[in-house]
C-alpha cells in the first residue's frame, strides 16, 4: 500500500492557501485542533473528480471527518456524528441524518478548540470500539 499521507497533507496546505480568506483560516484552525487532539490521525485527500478538486479527510482506524469549504461555510462532517456525545451542541448541520452530523462554520464564527478536541477524541474512540 502506498502511503500518500504526506502528499495529502501537502494538498490540504495548498487548499488552505488557495482559499486565502476566512475559509482558509477556519480550515487551518480546525486542522490544528484535529491534529492536536489526535496526533496519530492520518490526513487524506479523497473524492477527486473533474467537477470536484477533492476533500480533506481525517482518519484514525476509519474516517473521522471531512473538511469541505463552500462559498459561505466551512463544513466539518463527522462520519459517525449521530453516535457521538455533543454536550456543547457543536453540531448544527445534518441533524436529521441517522449516521453523520456536521458543524457549519460561517465567517466570524470562532473555532471552539476545547469542545472540538473532545469531539475528535470521541470520534477516535468510536472508531476504536468498532
Domain holding 124, by residue range, is 5-128
Strands of 31-73 (E only): list them: 42-46, 55-59, 63-69
> For 59-108, how does the pLDDT look when each residue is reduced to its tens digit (9 = 90+)?
999 999 999 999 999 999 999 999 999 999 999 998 888 999 999 999 99
Rounded-to-integer distance, Cα 34 and Cα 117, Å: 6
Q: Do the strands 55-59 and 63-69 form a parallel or antiparallel pair, or are they unpaired?
A: antiparallel
The count of domains in the chain is 1
Q: Which residues contact 93 (CB under 8 A, 6 or more apart)?
A: 75, 101, 102, 103, 104
For 59, list phi and psi in degrees, rounded to 5: -130, 155
Q: Closest Cα to residue 128, out of 89, 92, 80? A: 80
pLDDT confidence of residue 73: 97
| CATH label of the domain that carries residue 107 | 3.90.1150
The pTM score is 0.91
Rounded-to-integer distance, Cα 24 and Cα 59, Å: 20
Amino acid at each position: 500500500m502506498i502511503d500518500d499521507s504526506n502528499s495529502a497533507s501537502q494538498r490540504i496546505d495548498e487548499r488552505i492557501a488557495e482559499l486565502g480568506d476566512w475559509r482558509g483560516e477556519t480550515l487551518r484552525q480546525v486542522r490544528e485542533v484535529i491534529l492536536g487532539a489526535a496526533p496519530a490521525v492520518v490526513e487524506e485527500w479523497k473524492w477527486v473528480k473533474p467537477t470536484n478538486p477533492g476533500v480533506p479527510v481525517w482518519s484514525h482506524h476509519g474516517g473521522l471527518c471531512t473538511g469541505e469549504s463552500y462559498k459561505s461555510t466551512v463544513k466539518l462532517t463527522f462520519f459517525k456524528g449521530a453516535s457521538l456525545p455533543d454536550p456543547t451542541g457543536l453540531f448544527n448541520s445534518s441533524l436529521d441524518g441517522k449516521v453523520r452530523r456536521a458543524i457549519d462554520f460561517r465567517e466570524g464564527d470562532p473555532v471552539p478548540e476545547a469542545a472540538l478536541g473532545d469531539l475528535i477524541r470521541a470520534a477516535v474512540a468510536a472508531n476504536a470500539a468498532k
